[in-house]
Chains A and B, each alone.
Chain A
Amino acid sequence: MNVWLFALRNAGRNRRRSLLAGGIISFGFAALALSGGFMAQTFDALRDGTIRGGVGHLQFTNPDAADDAAGLEALRHGLADASRAVTALRGDSQVVEVLERTEFFGLLTDGEVAIPFAGVGVDPEAERRTMDAPRLVTSGRWLEEGDGRDAHEVVLGSGLAGALGVSPGEVVTMMAMSVDGVLNAIDAEVVGIATLPVREMDDRYLATSLGAADTVLLAHGAVSKLVVLIADPSRVEAEALRLHDRLEREGIQTAVRTWPVLAVFYRQVRQLYLGMFGFLGLVLLLIVLLATANTMLMVTTERTREIGTLRALGARRGRIQRYFLAEGVTIGGLGCMAGAILALVLREILNRAEILLPPPPGVAHPVPLFIRFYPTAYALGAAIMILAVVLATWIPARRASRRPIIDSLAHV
C-alpha cells in the first residue's frame, strides 16, 4: 500500500464526485491542448506567410544600409557587389534560393493623377518559384520571365490600381528619385493586379523587374538587398553567421539580419496570441481551481474523522497533506489523461471537417481549420491542471490536518 494506491482507492470512494472533478479537469485540459495546437498552427502559417511574403530567412544588405531602418535610402547604400554575392551564396549547399531586391518609393501617374507607391524590383522567375506575391495576382499576369525579365512592366496592388483607375494592358509612368538624387521617370505597362492581404500594402504595392527598377533609379546594377532562403530554417542564426563569414572571406562586406528580427508583424501577432492563450489558461485555471476546490473541500470534510485517526496513529500533519495532495494529483492526472484522449479525438474530427476560417492576420484568403498536435500545449495543459488541483487540495488539506485531533475524532 503506497501513497498513490491509497489515493486511487480514496478517489474511487465517491466515484460520481471524482468523475465530476476529473471531467472538469479533462475538459480544461482538452481546451488548452486544442487551443494550443490551433495557436501553433496559426504561428506556423503566419511564419510561412511572412517568410514567403518576401522577408525570406535571411537578408543581406550593405552594412551602412542596415542602419537605415526605414529603408528610404536603401539604394544610396545599395549592394554594389550583388552579382558576386549571389554567385557565392548560390554555391552554398545550405542555400535554397537567393533573390535580389531593389526597394524604392516614388509616384505613379496615368497622366492625370499621381499616387505614391512602395515599389520593389524583383527577379520574376525566382520570385515565382519561392514567394507568394505572384500567386496574389488576381487580374492579368505576373512579370515576364526569361528573356523579358528586365521588361518595363509593373504589377500593382488592387488598391493602387483602383485609385489610379488603371487595369492590365494600360501604360503608367513611374517616377522616383535616382541614386544621385535626380528625379527620373520611365513608362511601364501594367501587366497584373494583385490583391494583398494588408490593406495599407495593397494601396501602395508596385512590383517591377530588376531591370526597370535599375533604369528608373539609375542604380547601375546595385540592389537594396539579397533575400535568402535556407534549407534548415531552425538553424537560421547559425547560418546567418556562417554565410556572412563566407561572403566576408570573399571580400564582400555585408550586414545580415534574420527573419525573426525583421518580422515585426509576426512578433506582434505572436505576442498577441500568446497573451490570449495565457488569459485562456488563467480562466481555465480558475474554473478548475474553484471546481476541484469544492470537491476537495467536501472530501476533506467528509474524512475529518479519518484524518483524526491517522493523526492519532502518529501521522504528522505534512503526511496528511501529502495524502490529500496525492489524491488531488491522482484525480488531476486521470483527468488529464482523459482530456488528452478527448483532445486527440476532437482534433481528428475538426481536422476532417474541412472548416474554413476567416483569414488570419497577414493572410489573404480563408484558411482551413487545422489543429496541430503540439506536445508543448499538452504538457502545459497538464501542468496548469495539476497546479490547479494542487492549489485546490492543499488549502483544505492543510486546514484539516491542523484541526485538533480530538475535534477530528469527534466529527460526525
Chain B
Amino acid sequence: MSLRPPLLEGIGLTRTYTLGAVEVPALRGVDFALEAGEFVVLEGPSGSGKTTLLNLLGLLDSPDAGELRWEGRPLTTLDDDACADLRLELFGYVFQTYNLIAVLNATENVELPMLLRGIPARQRRSRSAALLAAVGLRDKIAIRPDLLSGGQRQRVAIARALANDAKVLLADEPTANLDRIAADEILDLLTALNRERGVACVVATHDPRVRVRARRVVALRDGLVEDGA
C-alpha cells in the first residue's frame, strides 16, 4: 500500500444547482481519486453529474460540501486568484465545443496559456510550434479557427491544454462534435499523450469508443458513483 496521497482527490463532493425555485442535486457526496499518469473515463447518462465532477476537479466550480486535494493539500479554501493560478499551472481543459479564441490563429491560441503565465515570446513560439507539430498540425500554425475542421480545432484545443505542461488533462465530451474518423484521431492523440508524456487524463463522455481506451472507468448515475465502478 502506497503512503503517497493521490495526485488529485475529491472527498464527499456535493454540488446542487438552483434552477429558479427548484434545487437540482448534481453531485451527492462523490469520492474520486486520480493518480499521476492515469487515464480515467467518467461515464453515465445525461444529468448523471459527469461534467459537474469534471468542473469541480478542474477548479472551474466550487463544491457546496466536500473537499478537494492536490497531492494531499486542500484546494477548496483557495481564493479566486489562487484557483486561477492553479488552473494555469496544473490543468489543461478540452471542451466539447473547442472554445478557441476566434481572433487568434492556431499558434496564438496555443500560446495563450503561456502568455497568461508570462513565458517569453520566443519560448512561447517554439513551444507552440512543437505542440502543434505533436498534434499533427504543423502546416496549420497560422490558420484561424474558423478555417479549421472540427477535428483540427480539437487538436488545437489539446495542444493549448498542454501548453503549460499540465499535470492533468480534463476533457468534457471531446469527441461529441466530431465524425467517426476525427473522433478516433482525437482519442489516439489523447491516448498517446497520456502514454508518452505521462499526462493524467479524465475524460467525461457518452462515447463507448472512449471507454475501451480507459485504464479505469468511473460510472456516475444521479450524482453518485455507481456501485462496482
- Interface residues in chain A, defined as those with a beta carbon under 8 Å from any beta carbon in chain B: 1, 6, 9-10, 12-13, 305-306, 308-317, 319, 404-406, 409
A9 contacts B103, CB within 8 Å? yes
Closest 4 CB pairs of A and B: A314-B88, A9-B103, A309-B99, A314-B87
Q: Using CB atoms, name the residue of chain A closest to B52.
A: A406
Q: Using CB atoms, name the residue of chain A closest to B115.
A: A1
Docked Cα-Cα span, A6 to B61, in Å, equals 27
A316 contacts B84, CB within 8 Å? yes
Q: Using CB atoms, name the residue of chain A closest to B164.
A: A314
* CB-CB contacts below 8 Å: B108-126 with A: 108, 111-113, 115-117
Q: What mask results when residues 70 to 114 of chain B are scored 1 for a CB within 8 Å of chain A, else 0?
A: 000000000011001111110001010001011110001001110
Asked if B24 lies at the interface with its beta carbon under 8 angstroms from chain A, I say no
Q: Shortest Cβ distance from A307 into chain B, in angstroms? A: 11
B61 contacts A313, CB within 8 Å? no
A315 contacts B116, CB within 8 Å? yes
- Interface residues in chain B, defined as those with a beta carbon under 8 Å from any beta carbon in chain A: 55, 58, 60-61, 80-81, 84-89, 93, 95, 99, 101-104, 108, 111-113, 115-117, 160, 164
Question: Which of A10, A306, A308, A313 interacts with B116 by CB under 8 Å?
Answer: A313
- A314/B89 contact (C-beta < 8 A), A1-B111, A405-B61 known: yes
Question: Which of B58, B104, B117 interacts with A312 by CB under 8 Å?
Answer: B58
A313 contacts B80, CB within 8 Å? no
Collect the chain A residues with CB atoms within 8 Å of residue B111's CB.
1
Collect the chain A residues with CB atoms within 8 Å of residue B95's CB.
309, 409
Interface centre among B80, B95, B103, B115 (most CB of A within 10 A): B103
B60 contacts A409, CB within 8 Å? yes
Known: A409-B60, A409-B95; 16 extra A-B contacts, CB below 8 A, are: A1-B108, A1-B111, A1-B112, A6-B104, A9-B103, A12-B103, A309-B101, A312-B60, A312-B99, A313-B87, A313-B93, A313-B112, A315-B84, A315-B88, A316-B84, A317-B80
Q: Shortest Cβ distance from A176 into chain B, in angstroms? A: 83
A405 contacts B88, CB within 8 Å? no
Docked Cα-Cα span, A311 to B87, in Å, equals 9
Question: Which of A13, A319, A405 interacts with B102 by CB under 8 Å?
Answer: A13
A311 contacts B84, CB within 8 Å? yes
Q: Shortest Cβ distance from A299 into chain B, in angstroms? A: 12
Question: Which of B60, B85, B93, B103 interacts with A6 by CB under 8 Å?
Answer: B103
Collect the chain B residues with CB atoms within 8 Å of residue A311's CB.
84
Q: Shortest Cβ distance from B14 into chain A, in angstroms? A: 16
Collect the chain B residues with CB atoms within 8 Å of residue A309's CB.
95, 99, 101
Q: Shortest Cβ distance from A402 into chain B, in angstroms? A: 9
Q: Shortest Cβ distance from B56 into chain A, in angstroms? A: 10
Collect the chain B residues with CB atoms within 8 Å of residue A305's CB.
99
Collect the chain A residues with CB atoms within 8 Å of residue B87's CB.
312-314
